Every structure is written in structure tokens, then in C-alpha cells.
């Protein structure tokens, strides 16, 4: 069943406040009907709306992919965000209603791999929880490395134990020398053909990915999920043409393609505004792309046939989109 474009209204059946400012939200259908299945690594787009805040935000599913009675997500309260997480923490009360889209999966698990290495940094552990449950059900060899600042802000410990995953989850805390992650040793011990998955803060992900490449793990076996990213949208002015709409506009130095087109009446669906969710991907008919997103693969970027118009720009003076 294709659930990528389905829109649902779900009730918050249960809220569990975990250490580290993380709220675990269990969502059920209003009539108690089973929910569509999802695959490990999938996320929900959640509509966060209250007062002046009207945003869509992406949250990975951490529940068991085999369970159909509910979806579960983890939400980090981040005071440095644009208001989405703060608002969701405030309005997420048991019995309240949320509008969601999905599940969607841009971070799929390769179940045939002989060995899987999962690296979750902070809230980045949420998709890894679903992956760990699935790999355990398949009887596959894997280890989940869960990295946090300290033991006191480490969420999901009870859930790890309840799910029977204590033997495959290794905790690493920045303030405990004896538990710090020895990434070189873990990568050196990886079996031939192993796949690596990483999610967490951008610096953490960049470190894991660059080191994995140095150890000979091919980019096609390195899988990443960005929750957010620092994006620089500045640059020289250029012209963007929406071919099917017959519209041509100038994109200013601090403006995005999506916003420039919106002012000219060409609507492009945008959700994350950070180049991590893929909602705004458009096909490119002409022009060279200055990719600034974290959604497209390196191969897709080299092909130059599509771009994320919420953040990426043209390298030249003109780019033509199939919009």
C-alpha cells in the first residue's frame, strides 16, 4: 500500500516524557481501526498548528513496523528551532488530534545486508529503534550505537529493555570516557558488505559518514537521515523558468526558488525548508544546479536532473524547471 500521500487525522493516545526533553507520542486512528503498515526508517509529516505557528515537520517512526494499532514518534523540544518542536510539545496532550501525512520512507533498511551498523545521535535514535526491531525480527546481525551527551539525558532506555534489544544496543555518553564511541574500531570490525545507517546532529553525521568512507564502506552502503540542517540560501541573482506554467522570475540573492515562484503564482509544496524532506523536489530541464540539500543522493546530484527548490540554487544565470 502506497501511504506517501495519505493524509490522516490521528489522536494522541499516550504521551511519555523521556529524559532529555523528548516526548514520545503514541498515535491511533479516531475509530480504533488498524493503521497502514510502514517500513523501518519511515517518518510522518506532522502538521504543527497553533496561533501564528503553522508548519509541517518530519518525525521518524520509532515503533515496531509489525504493529498496526498505533504509530509512535519521538519529539525533541528544541528551543533553537523555528517553533515547531516547542509548539508540538505544548499542544501534544493525550486525547488531542494531529493531522499527519505518510508514512513516507526516504531512509529504507536494506534487509538483505549481512551486517548492519546503526548510529543514532540523540533524537536521531528514533528511526534506529524501528530498524532494530525489524532486524531482530529477521534474525539479522546488527549493532545499534546510541550516542548522547550524558546518561541523564538518554531517552528510550526503558523501551530498549522492553523490546528485548538490550544485547544489541551500546550506549555512548560524551561525559563518560569509558563509554565513548571508538568509531575506528567499530568500522574496522564491520563485516564485508555491511550497511551503515546514521541519524543525528549534522556534525555527528558528517563525522560518521566521512570516517566510514575512509574505511572503504562505499557511499551506496551508507544511509543517512537528516532531521534538520544548516542551509545557506544566499548567492548571485539568477532567472528561474517554470516551463509548464509559462512563468519566468528572478531569484534574488537571499531568496529561494520556491519563494520566488510563489510570489509569481506558481505554488510548490514546501515543508522542511532545509532540504531534508524531499517534498519540494522538481525536475530540471535546463541549467546547472548548485545543490544545497541533504535529501538527494550524491549520484542524483551528479545526474543533475532534479533539485530541492526550497534551498538549492542555479550555478549559472538561468535554470528551467518542469513546473
- Among the candidates 163, 196, 225, a domain finishes at 225
Determine the pLDDT at residue 218.
92
Does the residue 233 lie in any domain? Answer: no
144 and 170 Cβ atoms separated by less than 8 Å: yes
Q: 80: buried, middle or exposed (CB in 10 Å: 19+, 13-18, 0-12)? A: exposed
- 208 pLDDT above the threshold of 90: yes
**Percent of the residues in the chain that have a pLDDT greater than 90, as a whole number:** 80
Instruction: Report pLDDT digits (tens) over 34-60.
Output: 999 999 999 999 999 988 888 888 999
User: For position 204, which CATH number holds?
Assistant: 3.40.50.80
> Could you tell me if 302 and 242 lie in one domain?
yes
Closest among 305, 320, 315 to 261, alpha carbons compared: 320
How far apart CA 38 and CA 104 sit, in angstroms, is: 8
- 272 pLDDT above the threshold of 90: no
Does the residue 231 lie in any domain? Answer: no
For residue 72, give its domain range: 7-104
Does the residue 1 lie in any domain? Answer: no
User: For position 29, which CATH number holds?
Assistant: 2.40.30.10
More confident residue, 149 or 80: 149
> Could you tell me if 199 and 295 lie in one domain?
no
> Could you tell me if 168 and 221 lie in one domain?
yes
Instruction: Report pLDDT digits (tens) over 221-261.
Output: 999 988 766 678 889 999 999 999 999 999 999 899 999 99
CA dihedral 88, 92, 98, 101 (to 10 degrees): 50
Residue with cell 503553522: 54
> Could you tell me if 145 and 99 lie in one domain?
no
Determine the pLDDT at residue 162.
94
How far apart CA 85 and CA 83 sit, in angstroms, is: 6
User: For position 308, which CATH number holds?
Assistant: 3.10.20.30
> Could you tell me if 266 and 304 lie in one domain?
yes
Maximum Cα–Cα distance for the chain, whole Å?
62
> Could you tell me if 130 and 195 lie in one domain?
yes
Least confident of 135-139, 193-197, 227-231: 227-231
Instruction: Please tell me whether residue 115 adopts helix, strand or coil conformation.
Output: coil
Task: Quote the number of domains for the chain.
Answer: 3
How far apart CA 126 and CA 119 sit, in angstroms, is: 11
Segment 289-308 mean pLDDT: 90
- Among the candidates 183, 202, 225, a domain finishes at 225
Segment 65-93 mean pLDDT: 89
> Could you tell me if 35 and 121 lie in one domain?
no
- Among the candidates 54, 74, 104, a domain finishes at 104
> Could you tell me if 129 and 214 lie in one domain?
yes
- 2 pLDDT above the threshold of 80: no
Local confidence band at 1 (pLDDT 50, 70, 90 cut-offs): low
When the pLDDT of each residue in the chain is averaged and rounded to a whole number, the result is 93
> Could you tell me if 214 and 259 lie in one domain?
no
> Could you tell me if 213 and 153 lie in one domain?
yes
Segment 91-99 mean pLDDT: 96
Please give the grid coordinates belonging to residue 75: 519529539
> Could you tell me if 215 and 302 lie in one domain?
no
> Could you tell me if 172 and 252 lie in one domain?
no
Amino acid at each position: 500500500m502506497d501511504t506517501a500521500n495519505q493524509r490522516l487525522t490521528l489522536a494522541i493516545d499516550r504521551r511519555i516524557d523521556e529524559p532529555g526533553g523528548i516526548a514520545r507520542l503514541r498515535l491511533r486512528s479516531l475509530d480504533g481501526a488498524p493503521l497502514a503498515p510502514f517500513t523501518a526508517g519511515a517518518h510522518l509529516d506532522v502538521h504543527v498548528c497553533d496561533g501564528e505557528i503553522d508548519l509541517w515537520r518530519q518525525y521518524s517512526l520509532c515503533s515496531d513496523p509489525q504493529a498496526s494499532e498505533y504509530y509512535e514518534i519521538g519529539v525533541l523540544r528544541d528551543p533553537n528551532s523555528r517553533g515547531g518542536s516547542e509548539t508540538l510539545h505544548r499542544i501534544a496532550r493525550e486525547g488531542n488530534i494531529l493531522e499527519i501525512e505518510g508514512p513516507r520512507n526516504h531512509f529504507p533498511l536494506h534487509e538483505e545486508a549481512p551486517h548492519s551498523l546503526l548510529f543514532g545521535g540523540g533524537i536521531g535514535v528514533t528511526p534506529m529503534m524501528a530498524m532494530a526491531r525489524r532486524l531482530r525480527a529477521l534474525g539479522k546481525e546488527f549493532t545499534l550505537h546510541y550516542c548522547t551527551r550524558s546518561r541523564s539525558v538518554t531517552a528510550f532506555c526503558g523501551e530498549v529493555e522492553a523490546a528485548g534489544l538490550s544485547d544489541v544496543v551500546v550506549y555512548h555518553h560524551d561525559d563518560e570516557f569509558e563509554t565513548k564511541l571508538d568509531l575506528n574500531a567499530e568500522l574496522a570490525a564491520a563485516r564485508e558488505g555491511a550497511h551503515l545507517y546514521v541519524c543525528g546532529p549534522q556534525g555527528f553525521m558528517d563525522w560518521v559518514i566521512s570516517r566510514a568512507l575512509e574505511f572503504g564502506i562505499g557511499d551506496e552502503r551508507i544511509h543517512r537521515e537528516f532531521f534538520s540542517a544548516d542551509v545557506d540560501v544566499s548567492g548571485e541573482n539568477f532567472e528561474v523558468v517554470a516551463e509548464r506554467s509559462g512563468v519566468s522570475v528572478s531569484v534574488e540573492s537571499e531568496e529561494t526558488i520556491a519563494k520566488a515562484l510563489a510570489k509569481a503564482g506558481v505554488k510548490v509544496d514546501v515543508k522542511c525548508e532545509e532540504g531534508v524532506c524531499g517534498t519540494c523536489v522538481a525536475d530540471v530541464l535546463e541549467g546547472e544546479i548548485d545543490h544545497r540539500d541533504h535529501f538527494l543522493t550524491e549520484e542524483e546530484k551528479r545526474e543533475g536532473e532534479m533539485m530541492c527548490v526550497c534551498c538549492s540554487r542555479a550555478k549559472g544565470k538561468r535554470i528551467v524547471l518542469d513546473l
